[in-house]
Amino acid sequence: MHLFHFLTRAESRRILSSPNLGDEVLRYVLKHLGISLVSICITLMLLEAGIRIANPQDLGFWDSQPFRRLLSTAPHFVENIPRSHTRFIGVPVAINSLGLRGDEVSVPKPPRTIRIVAVGDSITFGYGIPVEDTYAKILERCLNQGVFGGARYEVLNGGTLGGSLSDYFHFLNEKAELVHPDVVLIGLSLNDILVYSESGSVSEIGAHQHGRNMPRTRSFSRFLLRHSQLYMFCYPRLKSFLYGSGILDINEVRGSDFVALAPASEYQKHAWESSLGMLSRILTFCREHGYELVVVVFPMQMQMSAAELRFYREKTHLRLGDEAASGEPQRRLRAYAAAAGATLVDLLPAYREHRSEDLYLHNDKIPADPTHPSIRGNQIAADEICRALRTPRETQ
């Protein structure tokens, strides 16, 4: 009977004296629910208009559709769209006719050119980073310092957002013969450690994070980001609140990003076996075609120190194993590279020599990102790769 506290006396008498009391109550509730919904919609529309006037938002900030696509046929590899131009994460993005980020390149390769192709995910692509500040372009400038005799280095950016090891292998199969690299750099992020099928598809547990089988809630969120400036304004704060409060379980939404850093499990074991198998396929491909392969391993921010690991455990509730801070994933990859005779550049020691907050991307819309390097992080990566490429292999 608490409902009737909100009614006038006349409404209470009419409803209580009605022979169809249940219908009258339902009609009243639906009427006032409709009024409430209309009021909420009007309020949101006014707020939307206010944001657009007082603090306009860039609706293309998170939208990668203008330059990124998934192949329509399985296993749905991710590719850049040739000759596309847009702004993404606040910086210009230009894709050339070969699907590479940056300017057009000569095909065939010019004489006396040492061509390096960097292949990887959004780290290599340069997530939120101007193309001239990506590690690929910084590396190109570093290698060309002090080069005499007319020879020059050229570093091409074959990174793709949401890519994984199978996408890198697909890129090499499709583009390597055309651009004819002397060196292939694989920019390996620890979120590449997943389970892959023989065809190269990503297993279901990691598929949604790489653009496949995206949950409806995430699809709806992306729709709002493309159409609502109010939602764009609230998005970073809302996401931080939902993860920090535990309303959304980050391990369900983004757990596939952190398989290599999670506590030991059967899936993790399977992921390592599958990922190293995919790396072996890439290594075999490069050797068969005469390309030198260099694997560059990018650390995540929770690996920088015990304090960073504790922060991500307590503030975002990520399930992370103690091995994350010890560098166990990098140790596994170093052991694999040594056994396979491959060159590997482990960036973890170099990154730990600097303040972690300077190494990872953050701005007003990205308060924390444990994966993507800042401009400073790209600079350190390029310096380490440059040093490795200039060092004779027998002394490494």
- The per-residue pLDDT for range 87-111, each reduced to its tens digit, is 999 999 999 999 999 999 999 999 9
Average pLDDT, the chain: 87
Q: Is residue 89 part of a domain?
A: no
187, containing H or E segment: strand 183-189
Q: Is residue 98 part of a domain?
A: no
237, containing H or E segment: helix 229-245
* Confidence at 394, pLDDT banded by 50, 70, 90: very low
Pairing of β 292-298 and β 343-346: parallel
Q: Is residue 192 part of a domain?
A: yes
CATH number, domain containing residue 352: 3.40.50.1110
pLDDT tens digit sequence for 196-226: 987 666 644 444 444 444 567 778 888 888 8
Q: Is residue 166 part of a domain?
A: yes
Task: Please name the residue that has the structure tokens 């990503």.
Answer: 202
Same domain, 336 and 230: yes
Same domain, 33 and 171: no
Q: Is residue 42 part of a domain?
A: yes
Q: What percent of the chain is predicted at pLDDT more than 90? A: 61
Q: Is the pLDDT of residue 7 over 70?
A: no
pLDDT tens digit sequence for 297-333: 999 999 999 999 999 998 888 899 988 889 999 999 9
Q: Is residue 335 part of a domain?
A: yes
Q: Is residue 11 part of a domain?
A: yes
- The pLDDT value recorded for residue 73 is 83
* Rounded Cα gap, residues 259 and 147, in angstroms: 42
Same domain, 48 and 126: no
Q: What percent of the chain is predicted at pLDDT more than 70? A: 85
Q: Is the pLDDT of residue 147 over 90?
A: no
Same domain, 308 and 228: yes
Q: Is the pLDDT of residue 18 over 70?
A: no
Q: Is the pLDDT of residue 238 over 90?
A: no
Mean pLDDT of 357-368: 88
Q: Is residue 127 part of a domain?
A: yes
* Confidence at 342, pLDDT banded by 50, 70, 90: very high
Same domain, 162 and 311: yes
- The last residue of one of the domains, among 35, 54, 73, is 54
85-123 as b/e, with b when 16 or more CB fall inside 10 Å? ebebbeeebebbebbbbbeebeeebeeebbbbbbbbbbb
- The pLDDT value recorded for residue 208 is 42
Domains in the chain, number: 2
- The pLDDT value recorded for residue 396 is 40
* Confidence at 377, pLDDT banded by 50, 70, 90: very high
Q: Which domain holds residue 264?
A: 108-395
